[in-house]
Amino acid sequence: MYLLWIGSRSSSKSRFVNTLFYGFVSMLTPVLQGHQVAPAELEAHLLTHPYVNDCAVIQVPDEKAGEVPKAFVVKSPAVSHEQDDRITAREIQKHVEKHKARYKWIAGGVEFIDVIPKSPSGKILRRLLRDKEKEKRRAEGAKL
């Protein structure tokens, strides 16, 4: 909502407009610096990787960027059990970095889980994953 009196020559209104404008700009700055990333786009791309059987992408807080994508991945049977999760996660991140713009990279990390929570109709229940991530961050003592 933008409420500005442009062209007013009264000094009191001019000060009010300058204050209002400054207030709106300072509140909107973090929003203007960020980019919107559709989780479905990243999920579709992740599913093309041979190590990914199923996946879901949520946003997680980041001090520098505001919010960044984080992937929850169900590993495919093609992944050997002896392969380290960190190496597998890095390969999945490199796959995204190779094909997507920098702001779409999985900067929040990759977490491996047994099953992606879904509704009976098949929709991904991202709310449950966000709650799980909030609890994890709260337990670690990180600020949300």
Give residue 31's pLDDT.
38
Give residue 144's pLDDT.
53
20 and 55 belong to one structural domain: no
89 and 111 belong to one structural domain: yes
Domain total in the chain: 2
72 and 125 belong to one structural domain: yes
Sequence-separated contacts (24+) of 74-79 with Cβ below 8 Å: 74/112, 74/113, 74/114, 74/115, 74/116, 75/51, 75/112, 76/50, 76/51, 76/52, 77/53, 78/50, 78/51, 79/51
Q: Walk along the chain (144 residues) and give the pLDDT tens digit of each residue.
A: 444 444 445 554 444 444 444 444 434 333 334 678 899 999 999 999 999 999 999 999 888 888 899 999 999 988 877 788 899 999 999 999 999 999 999 999 999 999 999 999 999 999 999 999 999 988 887 555
Whole domain around residue 130: which residue ranges?
39-140
71 and 104 belong to one structural domain: yes
